[in-house]
């Protein structure tokens, strides 16, 4: 009798553990396996890596406004679901969501394979997800620095390459890579962040020529400060003062400008008149002057 109860308990425990494990996998790594969702082939798709919030969401909204269906990628499933609900209730588009960490080795390939299997009518790829912050090289653990390189550079390179067959098939098509004004010159305080953004700018310039014959246009968004989180507000005010405040562009405007200029096939996109003017000087001044200037700015103690 006791053996019978023990067996029943073990079987129940086994099933409960299995169900729990399955639920947490879905939460961590969610990808839609249904096909019905793709009945709408009337509108083309834009895939936005990092499209659940911030600049990525603003780009998603500007795309939806132009009747593009969307595929949004981010880690947090709840934020993705909220973004999908907001966009689908405001625009007549279908929004697909994929919860994945783009810094993982296989994520970009799995996403691309999923799009290819579903034969998505993909016309636009936006590589937005990125990691930075006030702390950088010398003050971060090596694993965090590797994460920055993997997310900012590797995921962009892999998604662009693996989705190339679909973009080519649906050409004319577009790739929008998100760098930063921080990529125009070395910033000692954010040395690795500015280096990853410089790599995105350089790569985008070259890729633009490599893909010209395939009718795929490549653009690179290089915004100044955009108030997407409190740390950016504080850093901008502390370090850049009056200049910083003039450079700030509202996130919605950044998304709208990025999409409008991507479709106009612009290479470098700097939203905001003031930031654009500053960026012209940054791009013509010698890098050693700018590194020295940024070094002085970086030494300013943060205000309490
Ligand atoms: N804000 C600025 O002032 C500014 C200025 C210049 C350039 N940029 C660049 O613009 C891009 C967006 O910045 P933001 O301020 O809009 O950032 P944000 O508000 O933090 O949004 C980042 C987006 O990327 C997703 N994401 C982050 N890490 C991810 C990962 N490992 N795997 C998959 N998705 C990930 C986020 O969702 P989850 O967190 O749920 O994953 C979110 O959807 C970045 O590349 C940034 O460097 C920003």
3 state SS for 173-198: EEEEEECCHHHCCCCHHHHHHHHHHH
272 lines ligand 1 (CB under 6 A): no
User: Which of 75, 87, 97, 144, when mutated, tests ligand 1's pocket best, judged by the most ligand atoms within 8 Å of its CB?
Assistant: 75
53 lines ligand 1 (CB under 6 A): yes
Does residue 106 contact residue 155 with C-beta atoms inside 8 Å? no
On whether residue 104 sits in a domain, the answer given is yes
201 lines ligand 1 (CB under 6 A): no
On whether residue 135 sits in a domain, the answer given is yes
On whether residue 78 sits in a domain, the answer given is yes
Pick from 208, 133, 159: nearest CA to 50: 159
102 lines ligand 1 (CB under 6 A): yes
What residues contact residue 227 under an 8 Å CB cut-off, 6+ apart?
Answer: 233, 236, 248, 250, 251
Minimum CA distance residue for ligand 1 atom 45: 130
On whether residue 11 sits in a domain, the answer given is no
User: Which of 228, 230, 270, 282, when mutated, tests ligand 1's pocket best, judged by the most ligand atoms within 8 Å of its CB?
Assistant: 228
228 lines ligand 1 (CB under 6 A): yes
Encoding tokens for residue 238? Answer: 């502390």
On whether residue 136 sits in a domain, the answer given is yes
Q: What pLDDT is attached to residue 297?
A: 85
Q: What pLDDT is attached to residue 282?
A: 95
Cα gap 304→294, rounded to integer Å: 21
On whether residue 19 sits in a domain, the answer given is no
Minimum CA distance residue for ligand 1 atom 24: 50
On whether residue 47 sits in a domain, the answer given is yes
Domain count, the chain: 1
What residues contact residue 163 under an 8 Å CB cut-off, 6+ apart?
Answer: 47, 112, 115, 122, 125
Q: What pLDDT is attached to residue 31?
A: 66
On whether residue 95 sits in a domain, the answer given is yes
CATH number for the domain that contains residue 286: 3.40.50.720
Locate tokens 């700015």: which residue?
297
Minimum CA distance residue for ligand 1 atom 42: 50
Cα gap 174→177, rounded to integer Å: 10
3-class DSSP state of 28: helix
Domain that holds residue 137: 37-298
Q: What pLDDT is attached to residue 1?
A: 43
| pTM, to two decimals | 0.89
Cα gap 70→95, rounded to integer Å: 5
Mean pLDDT by 10 residues, the chain (304 residues): 47 40 42 51 90 98 98 98 98 97 95 94 98 86 96 97 96 98 95 97 98 98 97 90 93 98 98 96 94 86 65
Cα gap 120→8, rounded to integer Å: 47
Encoding tokens for residue 169? Answer: 């098939």
How far, CA to CA in Å, does 67 sit from each of 17, 94, 203? Answer: 43, 9, 29
């Amino acid at each position: 009798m006791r053996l019978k109860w023990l067996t029943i308990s073990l079987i129940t425990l086994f099933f409960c553990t299995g169900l729990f494990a399955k639920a947490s996998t879905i939460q961590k790594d969610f990808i839609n396996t249904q096909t019905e969702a793709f009945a709408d082939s009337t509108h083309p798709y834009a895939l936005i890596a990092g499209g659940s919030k911030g600049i990525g969401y603003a780009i998603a909204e500007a795309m939806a406004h132009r009747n593009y269906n969307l595929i949004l990628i981010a880690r947090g499933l709840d934020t993705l679901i909220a973004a999908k609900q907001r966009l689908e209730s405001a625009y007549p588009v279908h929004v697909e969501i994929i919860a994945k960490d783009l810094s993982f080795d296989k994520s970009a390939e799995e996403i691309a394979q999923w799009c290819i299997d579903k034969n998505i009518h993909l016309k636009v790829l936006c590589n937005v997800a990125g990691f930075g912050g006030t702390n950088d090289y010398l003050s971060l653990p090596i694993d965090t620095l590797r994460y920055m390189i993997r997310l900012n550079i590797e995921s962009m390179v892999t998604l662009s390459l693996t989705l190339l067959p679909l973009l080519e098939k649906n050409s004319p098509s577009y790739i929008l890579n998100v760098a930063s004004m921080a990529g125009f010159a070395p910033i000692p305080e954010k040395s690795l962040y500015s280096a990853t953004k410089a790599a995105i700018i350089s790569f985008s310039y070259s890729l633009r020529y490599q893909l010209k014959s395939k009718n795929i246009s490549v653009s690179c968004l290089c915004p100044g400060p955009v108030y997407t989180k409190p740390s950016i507000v504080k850093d901008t005010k502390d370090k850049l003062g009056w200049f910083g405040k003039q450079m700030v562009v509202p996130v919605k405007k950044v998304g709208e400008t990025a999409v409008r200029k991507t479709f106009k096939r612009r290479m470098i996109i700097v939203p905001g008149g003031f930031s654009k003017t500053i960026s012209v000087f940054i791009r013509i001044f010698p890098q050693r002057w700018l590194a020295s200037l940024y070094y002085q700015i970086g030494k300013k103690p943060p205000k309490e």
